Structure 1
Amino acid sequence: MIKSLKYQLPAILWLVLVLVICNVPMNDIPGSSQEYYEGFDKTVHTGLFFVLTILILYGSINSHKSLFLSFFTIFKIAFLSFFFGAFIEVLQWKVFTYRSGDWWDLFCDTVGVGMAVFSYLVLCRTRHGKKI
């Protein structure tokens, strides 16, 4: 268990970064008063969770020393990423009251997870001779 965690170090660091970014007061971030475009926050959520899921998949590939992860492993990774997104939204709703938990943020987190899993399935499984 501990030995396989060394492959997940980038994912763990990214997870901590996402936790900090999603729970810091927006007033403390320079330039946060201006919004780049409507929905920018949702794009950021999608990107953060896309990268998180890709890093977890990458760590699992290195841990198993194979490009081909079982569907159960892929499901566990997707569920873990989704659960982390839900955990952040609950924290924003109940603990960090200066932020608001939002269903649309959780939806965008889930879209990022889905994009990462889809990317893995298309790029790693299909391109290397194994059918999805």
Structure 2
Amino acid sequence: MNFTTIMRWLAIIWTVIMLLGCLTPHAEIPGPIVDINDKLMHVVIFAPFSLLWIIAGFRVNTVLIAGFLFGALIEFLQYVLPINRSADWIDLFADCIGTVVGAGLALAWHRLFPNRNF
């Protein structure tokens, strides 16, 4: 497998982990994770999302839009599903910030490793 294929698989796996984690009923989330600042957690989980997808070969603008929409989808699902989770506009804002941070990290990656295509 080449580098791009590995990065795409990692991006897919990370996206699924994010979705499952964000849609896990609140009562089933381990205590140490709940204790972490919620908004910081949103930034931290969305940064690798955009980083991996950009390194996997997707355009920065496409990944930014996808990250914003994915964050909105998660918040919507938390609102409508009976999982004892609540939607929050500030969470969505933190998701967007994380997506932008990851894109910045991907651009830095590209400068450090210019021979990698993305």
Judge same fold: TM > 0.5, yes or no.
yes
TM-score, normalised by the number of residues in structure 2: 0.80
- Count of residue pairs brought into register by the alignment: 111
On the 8 A contact 1:26/1:32 being kept in 2, the answer is: no
Counterpart residue number, 1:88: 74
1:26 matched to 2:23: no
Corresponding letter in the other structure for 2:52: L
Could you say what secondary structure the match of 2:85 adopts? coil
Structure 2: tracts of 5 or more residues without a match: none
Q: Percent identity?
A: 31
TM-score, normalised by the number of residues in structure 1: 0.72
Q: Which whole-Å deviations, capped at 9, do the CAs of 1:75-114 have from their partners, x for residues lacking one?
A: 0111111111110000001124511011011000000111
- The verdict on how the C-alpha distance between 1:10 and 1:34 changes in structure 2, with shifts beyond 3 A counting, is closer
Structure 1: tracts of 5 or more residues without a match: 62-72
Structure having the higher Rg: 1
The structure whose RCO (Cα within 8 Å, separation 6+) is larger is 2
Offset of 1:122 from its aligned partner?
A: 3.8
